[in-house]
Amino acid sequence: MRNKMKRKLYILFFLPFIVFAQQQQEQQQVSDQKPQEEVKIKLADKQVLRKGNDLYKEKKYADAEAKYKKALQQNQNYKTAYYNLSNSMYSQDKFKESLPGYELVAKTTDDKEFKAQSLHNIGNVLMKEKQYAKAVSAYKNSLRLNPKDDETRYNLALAQDLLEKEQNQENKDNKDNKDNKDKDKENKDKEKDQDKKDQNSENKDEQGDDDKKDQDKDEGEDNKDKKDQDKGGNNEQENKQPPKPEPNKLSQQQIQQLLEAMNNEENKTQKKVNAQKASGKKVKQEKDW
């Protein structure tokens, strides 16, 4: 049951074992140094680091963090203090802050098991940050140093599964984005085609109107020409035909003829009068009834 909880939380700490192993490692590292320096490191390990470990076990992670920092103030090369400090930060959900301590131990320690544990916890931090590809790499590096670690193997499988899902989702999103872009482009092309058709239709309508106007204009001009032609023909016909005499109005020729007739009659009458005078005959008068 305890192991399942570790897997569910994606976290695995080796704090007690690491503290012990690192004590041995620190002793080996300072074995060539002066006795007083060796005693100083041991005192920091026993007094400050152990107080921090006790507080950590009591889940007083912030207080434990303070003790580990104090231990590092006494010796900045104290790798166990870095590792335990990162553990206390991780337990407070300070995932990003915990990463540098694990990375420092993984890069500087010569202890394969200690390095493997640091890489395991680096993978845990990256899982929390949802950086699944980097988490996969960290777990693989840890397994290369400790192939028998089933906890790391389980976390690796989980990280790979989450990475695959993430990649599938990204591919789906990319495909959806591409489909949306293609659809948008298709819609824009359709709109352009429709606009072009509308423009052509509008131009056609305008051309039709212009043609109709031109046709009407031509027909109007033809009608006008025909009217003018008819008018001209009528005028010409009128000019060719003699003007009709108006009622009760004599023409100049008729007046001339009438005057001549009157003159002729007058001349005849005058001749008769002259002839009678010559013969002495009286003029016969009409009776007065």
What residue segments make up the domains of the chain, in order of their start? 2-162
Rounded Cα distance, 191 and 194, in Å: 5
Low-confidence residues in the chain, pLDDT < 50: 1-40, 278-289
Distances (CA, A) of 272 to 259, 268, 279, 285: 20, 6, 11, 15
Which of the four CATH numbers 3.40.50.880, 3.40.50.970, 1.25.40.10, 1.10.390.10 does domain 2-162 have? 1.25.40.10
Q: Which structure tokens are listed for 143?
A: 């397994």
With a pLDDT cut of 90, the percent of the chain lying above it is 40
| Residue with the two structure tokens 């005192």 | 43
This model's pTM is above 0.75 = no
Looking at residue 229, what is its pLDDT? Answer: 60
Looking at residue 283, what is its pLDDT? Answer: 32
